[in-house]
C-alpha cells in the first residue's frame, strides 16, 4: 500500500511540474486575447501615440459592442486602456498612475 501511495505522489508531482516552464515569453496567452488583430493594432497605435512610447498588447476582450484592449507601455510597464471597434480606437487612457497624457 505504501508503495502505491509513493507511486501516486511521484506521478502527481511529475504531472504538476510538467506544466511549468523555465523559459519566458513575451507573447500573451491567447486565452487573454479574444479581440481582433485590427482592434488590437488600432489600440496599440493610439496608445503609443498618446504615451509617446512603444507598447505591447497585454490583453484584449471582445464583446459585440467593442473590444477592450490593455496595452503595457514603458519599463516597468504602465497599463493603458483602449476601446476599439472595427479597427477604430477610442477611449485611450492610462490605468496606472505612471502613465501620462
Q: Which three cell numbers stand for residue 54?
A: 512603444
Residues in contact with 72: Cβ distance below 8 Å, sequence separation at least 6, in sequence order: 55, 56, 57, 58, 78, 79, 80
pLDDT digits (tens, 9 = 90+) for 30-59: 668 899 999 999 999 999 999 999 999 999
Q: Which three cell numbers stand for residue 14?
A: 511529475
In order of 22, 43, 44, 75, the CA distances from 86 in angstroms are 38, 11, 14, 30
DSSP 53: S
Residue 12, domain member (yes or no): no
The answer, as to whether pTM is greater than 0.85, is no
Residue 9, domain member (yes or no): no
Number of domains in the chain: 1
Question: Domain range holding 39?
Answer: 25-94
Amino acid at each position: 500500500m505504501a508503495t502505491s501511495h509513493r507511486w501516486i505522489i511521484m506521478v502527481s508531482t511529475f504531472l504538476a511540474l510538467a506544466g511549468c516552464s523555465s523559459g519566458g515569453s513575451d507573447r500573451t496567452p491567447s486565452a487573454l486575447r479574444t479581440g481582433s488583430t485590427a482592434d488590437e493594432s488600432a489600440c496599440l497605435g493610439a496608445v503609443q501615440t498618446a504615451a509617446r512610447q512603444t507598447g505591447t498588447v497585454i490583453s484584449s476582450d471582445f464583446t459585440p459592442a467593442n473590444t477592450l484592449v490593455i496595452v503595457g507601455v514603458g519599463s516597468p510597464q504602465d497599463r493603458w486602456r483602449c476601446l476599439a471597434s472595427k479597427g477604430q480606437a477610442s477611449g485611450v487612457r492610462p490605468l496606472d498612475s505612471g502613465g501620462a497624457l
